Amino acid sequence: MDTPSPLPCPLCARPRTPADAAGLAWSSQHEPDGTITWICPTCTRAQLWRIEALLGVASPTAPAAPTPVRPAA
C-alpha cells in the first residue's frame, strides 16, 4: 500500500489522508514526467463525466505536445 501524497488534489486542494490511501476512492494520474498525481473522488467523477462527454480533462500540468506520426513506408 502506498503512503498518502503530501500534496492535496491538484484540482480542488482537498488533502489526501492516510484513511484515503487505504481505500480506492482516489485515482492516480500519471504525468508525462513520470510523477503520479492523486485526484480526489469528487474530481475523479468530474473527470470521468468529461471523458464520457468527449471533453478535454483537467490536468495540473500542461498536456504533452503531440508526437508527429511518421507516414507509412
* Mean pLDDT score, 45-56: 78
Look at residue 1 and tell me whether its pLDDT is greater than 50: no
Spatial neighbors of 1 by CB under 8 A, at least 6 apart, are 21, 22
CA-wise closest residue to 59 among 25, 36, 17: 36
What's the predicted TM-score (pTM) here? 0.59
Quote the pLDDT of residue 39. Answer: 86
Quote the pLDDT of residue 73. Answer: 63
Cell numbers given for 25? 476512492
Task: Compute and round to an integer the Cα radius of gyration of the chain.
Answer: 15
d(CA 17, CA 26): 10
pLDDT tens-place string over residues 14-39:
888 887 777 778 888 887 888 888 88
